[in-house]
Structure formats: C-alpha cells, structure tokens
Chains A and B, each alone.
Chain A
Amino acid sequence: MPVILATDIIVYLVFAFIGFIFWSACARDGYARQVWTHIRGNRLAIISALILAAYAGVALSDSIRWRDSVMLYNGKVAVSPENKTIYSSEALSILDRVFHKARANTEKTFSAPMADKLYVKETIELEDGTTIRDYAALKYPSTHLLGTDKVGGDVFFSAMKGVRTGVVIGTGTTLVVIPFAIIFGVMAGYFGGRIDDLIQYVYTTLASIPGILLIVSFMLIFGSHGYQGGLITDANLMLGVFVPSDRLFWLCLIMGITSWTDLCRIIRGETLKLRELEYVQAARAFAVPRVLIMVRHIVPNIMHLVLITMVLQFSGLVLAEAVLSYIGIGVGPEAGSWGNMINTARLELARDPVVWWSLLGAFAFMFALVLPANIFGDAVRDALDPKVNTKTKSGGD
C-alpha cells in the first residue's frame, strides 16, 4: 500500500522540473538548449550537475514508499476481522529497501568506521566463565562504512536518509520564498506609493519578530502531530495513501514564510533602480501594460539576484533545520536528518575518546551538496546571462 507524504510532492515536482528541463534541452533548439550548450562547456559544472543528480536520485528513491502487508506465520497475508489486509505500520522507501542490510544490521553501540570491534569496552563473559573488560567484536564487522552511532545504527545510512530531508528543506523553502519575494518585491519597487508602504510594512513587521519564536509557535500549532518520519504512528495507521500532515512540510512552509523578507528587500531595491532605466521608460512610452513590463523587463533582470541569494541561502536552510531539530521542533528524530546528526555529534565530541564520524558523515554529505549547488548555480547564472552566454559566439564582431 503506497504512502505519499506532502513533502514527497515537493520531490516529485523537483523531478518533474528536471525532466522538463532535460526534455527541452534535448529539443532541437530553443533557449534551454542554448543554455545547456553553454553549461556543457564547463567541466566543473557538469561534475556538479552529476553530483546534484545523484542527490536528487537518492531523495527520489527515499520518497517512493509503501507499506507491506503483514504476513502470518503460515505465509498468508494477515487480514482484519472486516476482511481487510493489515499493513505493517512502517512505510519503507526504495532507499530503505536497497540499503536493507545497513538499516537492519545494528550493533550494540558506537563503532568506528569499518571497525570490527566496538568502540566502547564492555564486560565480556569468556567461555570459561571468567569475565574481562574488552572491546567486544561486532556482529557485522567491517560493514559500517561510517561506523555506528550510540544505539548502534549505521551512520552512513542515517546520512543517506538525511539527503531527502536536506533536499526537501532546501527546495521546499525556496519554492515558498521565490514567489513571495518576487511578487511582493517587484510590486513594491515598481508601483511605489501605497503598495510599497504596505509591503514594506508587512516585511518589516515580519522581520522584526524573532524568527525562531515565529517558527516555534507555528510548529507547535501545526507540526506537533502527524507523520514524524520513519514509522506511521498509531494515529496515522488508519490513514489512507496521502498523508498531508507531514512535519517537514510545515517546516518548509514556515521557514519560507520567515525567510522571504531578505530577498524581497533586495528585489525591491533592484526594481527601484530598474524602473527608472530607459528601456522601462521606453516600454511605458509604447503603452505596454504594467504587468507585461514587470514580467518582460523587470523580472528577467533580477533573476541573477534570486539565483545567487537562493544558492547562498540553501546551506543556511539546511543548517537552520539543524538548529530547529536541536530545540525539538525540527524534523522528528526518526526521520534521518543532518541536523539531528550534528546535534548528537555535539555530545559525542565532548566524550572521551571522541566519536567523530557522525559529524564527519553529516558534514561530508552537506558539503557535497552545497558546494556543487553553488558551482552549478554560478554556471546557470552565467549561462542565463546573454552577455556571457553569447560572447564566444560573436567574438569576431
């Protein structure tokens, strides 16, 4: 029985978008093709794109999940008294199923990457009945690529589970921020006067409320129940295919609502500058409708700012999730997230001997997402800029 979460929709949308871009880039000519030709010349950007695609693939595989039916000992499917199939309370994604071993093969507690013994001494009873304190052998030696955490879970697997959370937080929040920021920013800048006053008033108010406070209250109202990640809780057991109350979804929404103000302010300022430019004046002289002026003349000329701001904010968003998880209102502890990993790493780094691999895992995965995102973002911005884009073509004239 498939289960679709509200945040899965975001991942599917991202994939639909990638698919659309890919399809139009493969078309014979057109803008996307031209942009793609430009990006193709940049080897670093291509590598970045491949890494990003890998992340997106992991996120997608972690967003397609279904609940298995419960099997009885006799090999038959368990049914309820109403003769309905009983499903397991766990909705396992493709990722869970592919890394089934890493998920299931838990140890007792900490173990270093690729170690064959535990990281902590414990009392072991020998065959002759004497007990010694030593590092016990692992149940599954040399299989944990990044070691195990306190409860023996595979760190590499947790980090993989964090990919979906990171991607959803980054893109989901961006999907909320961009329309808000562009529509309000351009309107405030272009119309000025009362509309400008109103929009400025709204975002100044919003920006002056401490963000954490707003997020906490929002999450307490909307995000305190519902799907927390991992298990479908008892409360949700009777729910159907679609699970709208997903904590991560509310988190994206509220983080989007609290973080559109910066970009909006930048866009308003840029629009104020652009509206006085002569090409906008010329369009007005041609009686071009105002909406069309904004769409044709203003928005394309602020997109580079949007791209830069969003790429820079992306890492901030992933980190914000860590902070929020720390105070207990982020994604649930069952859903893997780099934020949660960094939180626990705080204590692990304080103990002696130091457990460093959780932090390393989270860091490496985040780094490998944010850096290519930056590089690829730059390449896209260049490719979208006709000045850079067409220089090579028309070098001679």
Chain B
Amino acid sequence: MAPIIEVKNLRTYFNTPKGTARAVDGVSFNIDAGETLALVGESGCGKSMTALSLIQLVPEPNGFIAEGEILLDGLDITRLPEYEKRRIRGNDIAMIFQEPMTSLNPVLTIGSQIIETIRLHQGLSQKAARAHAIEMLDRMKLPSPKTLIDEYPHRLSGGMRQRIMIAMALACKPKLLIADEPTTALDVTIQREILTLIKELKEELGTAVLLITHNLALVSGNADKVGVMYGGKIVESASAKDIFKNPLHPYTKSLLHSLPSITNRNEGLETIEGTVPEPTNFPKGCRFAKRCSSEMEGCSRLEPTLTAENKEDHLVSCHLFDPEFMSESRARPAGKMREPVMDFSRVDDSDAATRPLVLEVKGLKVHYPIKKGIFKKTVGHVRAVDGIDISIERGSTLALVGESGCGKTTTGKAIMQLIDATEGSVLLKGKELTTLNTEDMRPMRELMQIIFQDPYSSLNPRIKVGGIIEEGLKSLKPDLNDKERKDKVSEVLRMVGLSSDMSNRYPHEFSGGQRSRIGIARVLVVEPELIICDEATSALDVSVQAQILNLLRSVQIEFGLSYLFITHDLGIVEYMADKVAVMYEGKVIEYGRTEEVLGRPKEEYTKKLLQAVPTID
C-alpha cells in the first residue's frame, strides 16, 4: 500500500538577521493510512516547523521550503500554486493546534465555524453542512450536539473546545491530520480522552496522523511509529514499541532517563549538558556530539547518516552503529568525564513525625465574592480554596497535585500571603501569618519564598540579573552593605550553576533553563527555610527539567530546605515528594505518604488521575 504522505529530504529554512536558520534540515518519513507517526523532541528541534511545512503554512516571507518533496498521494504539494494549496488545506490535510482557547473565534458560534469549513471544501448546502456538523459533534461525544452547535466558544471548557477543533479538522475527512501538541494545554484526564478520541476516529476514517509532542510518555500507546528529532533532523525512528524497549541513539536514551519517576527517586536524574544548538549555527559533524556522553573523537568532524539497525524500520543516525567508523582510530572516546550519578537517597524518615513542622495550614479558605449590580452586592462566592489542612516537616517535600482550576495555585499564594485568606490559619514555624500586617510579615518573608512557573515572565526584562537577585536582599536583609550583597549574589549564582559574571546581563540573554536557575537563585539568596514551587518546571523541556529538579534536590539536602511542590505532573510528584495532597475543587481529598497515595489510592478521583497519566510501558 502506498503511503498517504511521503516526505523526502525536507528542508525548511528561515532568513534571520543572524543568518539562515535551518529549522528543518533534511527530514524524511512517510505515514500510511490509519497510522500515527509521532515526532518527538525538545523545543527548537524543528518538529512544529515540519508540521507547518506539511500543511504549506511556513511563515512568510522569512521562511521557505528550500528543498525536498512532500508527496500527498503521490502528488508533490510544495510545487502547487497557492489556490491549489488552499484546496488541500483543511480538506486533505487538517491541523489541530496546541491552544484550544485561542484557536476558535470567540465572536462566531461553533456551528458557523465548522459549517464554514465544510461548505468551503465540500460544496454542501447550508442545511446539509449543518447536519454534517451536528453529526461530527456527536461523533466527538459532545453532549447534546443540536443545541451545542449554536453556542459560542467561551461557554465551553478547554477539553470541549479541543474536541470541536478535532470535529472541525475531521469534518472533511482529511487524508492526513496534523496534531501539534494537541493536549499540552489540557489536564491529564482530558488529555487521555482527547487522544483516545483521535485514535478511534483515525481507525474509523483511515486518516493518517502526525502527532507532534514533547512528551515521550504520551507517545507510547498513542503512536505506531516514532521519530525523534534533534537539530532539525530525525536522529532515530522506529516503531513505538522498539523506541522504548530498545532505544539506540544516545539522545533518545538520555531523554528517557531524564524523566522523573518513582523508580529513580533516590538518585539524580540523567541530564544532557549544554543547550540545543542554534539553527543558524549548527555544529559540524554530529549535531548532538557536544552534548553526548559517549562522544568519540571523530563525532564532531563527520556527520552520521540515518541507517537501519537491527530491524529494517529502526533507523538511527549515530556513529556508534557504523561498523566502519567504529573500526577506525577516530572511534576513541573523546575523553569526557561522566558525571557521577548524584545520590539523593532519602534519609530514614521514620523520625519524620517527630521533626519540627515548618508549615502548618489549618482550615484554609479563600473565597472570592461574586458581585453584581451597581452597588456591587455580593450574590455568592467562588470557593477557590475551601478548607485545607496540610503540614510540612523540616527537610521534607509535600506535593500538592490537582488539575487546573482545583485551587492549588491559589493555595500557594494564600500560604505565601500574596492573597488574603478568607478563613483558616497558616503557621510558619509556629507563628500565625494571616493576622500579621505588612511590617510584621517582613521578617517572615525571609523564611518562606516562592518559585514561579514561567521562566520568562518571572524576571523583569529591564533589570539586570544581579539587580534581580539583589532585590530580595535589599528588602529583607537591609543591614548588608554593597560588597556583602555582591558577594552573596556571586555565591548564589555559582551555587545554581551559573557564573558570577552573568549578573551583568539582562534576563533575555539566557535560555529557559538558565532563567529558571536565576529564579531559583533569587529565592535561595535570602536563605529561606520553606520554598513553594508553583509548577516550577512545567514550562521546561525534559532534559532541562531534570537539571532543575537535580538542583532543587541537592540544595534541599545541603540546607535542609522544605518544599511545597505545586504540580500537575505525577512523575515529578513520585520523584520529589515525601507526602502528597491531592486537591479537587478546592479541597484536599487524599493526603498521605507518596507511596501510599500513589500506590494504593483510596479515592475514586485519585485512581482516575493515576490511570490517565501516560506512562511508558
């Protein structure tokens, strides 16, 4: 059977002020009918640009397809005139995007948006198109499609919107569906539903699917074939089974090992040193060589080719599997020191109960009044946090898990006293915080700090890194003189793995991972005892996340810090936490030791949550 889509040596380049960026640099693959290919890789590896090239939507005028063919049923679509491409887009190739909240037009009804696509491509009458749209919504398992079709997007949840996007994409029975991070913005339980839906429909309609994701675990169970991308190229491609069972490329291996889980919780995570190379300036030879732990002398001189290994469909691009290369002298190891695996084994915490409590939260409630009318009469309350009891012992980590909207971030901010609690008490080292005024709160802020999710918006772009880190010192430790402050800043920068001369630069000069480190340095410099990490790693790539988690673990052990980890990622919970509190609709529904809660969950919701988490098996 001929493949639906065949990509041959695709090269998509961008003209940038720094030179030509080779975003996609020689990618080849094909997808059969009813088959799913997953392209996996970290940000900047060129996976999204591959998708945009396929649907012929490379951002103009800077981007262009420099070379290669994209054969849709044997027809090269790169050479078609624009009006022919338009006929293919949405009809033969459809795409769903990451952010369901912004991919629907808020001023048009759902129906009119689906019907528009159908009428445009299928030439159906308004009535027939509407009937077809209702049928599609029904297939998406959306409730009461006949009334739903006349609703506006803002009345629907993210998961429902994503289903509507899929309905829209599949309405014209496309031959290829491109799903670019379709579930990244959604909760795990919804993620699972969406992926199952795509899988069912694909089998039913015989659509080929290209799934773009950064989440390796998501791939297993949802894809037939996997292509691992790095530096604009596919470095390894194999069936989904083989890639997890028998990964060959060092990059794939590192990616798999950098995932936090219960099995490696007593050691440091494997990290990939360095950063992803700039697409304007790829290194010579193997693009991964500089970061590879098994680099050989010849690696950075000669570029490896993608060749079959073991099986016909397991392709890998690495000199390790090139017998000719390995027989020569250039196969000598490049003499890299392998970093020893960090030992994070937990101290026997049988005495945990006797250790002093750093934080104790009792009956914490945060209610927002709903005000209506001219006189702003309170007509009701949004119970964002509705009675929470948790406690953290010195040196231990409590994870607060839950889906978006369950109130976990609000809890963190209320503990931090960034928003006022409606009721309940927050005791930090035995001292009640909720009744303190701003001035009395000041010394307590030294003890408790918060690390934020977004490494981009958490640093003021107009202040140099040194100034950012100094801010806390100036405010909380005003006795220090200039020199002492500068010394402390240099010291903490070294501690988080940055060099002290970086304090003279602006935040935008750093990568996401480095910015996270700056965020951590800013907090560590005031020497707190409790750190609240609000999704501190969820915006980062897995290899960078591994570095940050290692850093957090090592400073915890060194200084006896306590963490409150707010996250939705259960892998991180397994790896980091001693205790877990599962939140649902503003309440903690299950609370206990990590092994117990995750191993033997009692509540129905916890079980559902655990089941939904994609795992590598």
Contact = CB atoms under 8 A, between A and B. Distances in A.
Contacts of A97: none
B462 A285 contact: no
Interface stretch (B81-89, B136-144, B451-459): B451-459
B461 A282 contact: no
B460 A285 contact: no
Nearest to A281: B418
Interface string A363-397: 00000000000000000000000110010001101
Interface in A234-293: 277-279, 281-289
Contacts of B458: 277-279, 282
A282 B449 CA distance: 8
A300 interface: yes
A390 B502 CA distance: 13
A397 B468 CA distance: 21
A284 B471 CA distance: 11
A387 B18 contact: no
A282 B522 contact: yes
B80 interface: no
Interface stretch (B195-203, B380-388, B438-446, B571-579): B438-446
A283 B506 contact: no
B462 A301 contact: yes
B590 to A, nearest CB: 29
Nearest to A284: B418
B445 A386 contact: no
A150 interface: no
Contacts of B457: 277-279
Point out which of A278, A281, A390 has the most chain B C-beta atoms below 10 A from its C-beta.
Answer: A278
A198 to B, nearest CB: 15
Contact of B463 (A296, A387, A394): A296
Point out which of A281, A282, A300 has the most chain B C-beta atoms below 10 A from its C-beta.
Answer: A282
A283 B418 CA distance: 10
A298 to B, nearest CB: 10
Main secondary structure of the interface of A (DSSP, over half): helix
Interface string B462-502: 11000010011001100000000000000000000000000
A288 B452 contact: no
Interface range, B side: 20 to 34
A285 B505 contact: no
Contact of B471 (A281, A283, A300, A301): A283
B355 interface: no
A267 to B, nearest CB: 16
B608 interface: no
30 contacts: A277-B457, A277-B458, A278-B457, A279-B459, A279-B460, A281-B452, A282-B450, A282-B458, A282-B522, A285-B450, A286-B445, A286-B471, A286-B475, A286-B526, A287-B438, A287-B442, A287-B445, A296-B460, A297-B463, A300-B462, A301-B460, A301-B462, A386-B461, A386-B462, A387-B461, A387-B508, A390-B505, A394-B509, A395-B18, A397-B509
List the 9 closest A-B pairs by CB distance, nearest first: A278-B458, A278-B452, A386-B506, A286-B472, A300-B462, A279-B460, A287-B445, A287-B442, A288-B475
Interface of A: 277-279, 281-289, 296-297, 300-301, 386-387, 390, 394-395, 397
Given A279-B457, A281-B418, A390-B508, 19 more contacts: A278-B457, A279-B458, A281-B413, A282-B458, A282-B522, A285-B416, A286-B449, A286-B475, A296-B460, A296-B463, A300-B460, A300-B462, A300-B463, A301-B462, A386-B461, A386-B506, A387-B461, A387-B506, A394-B509
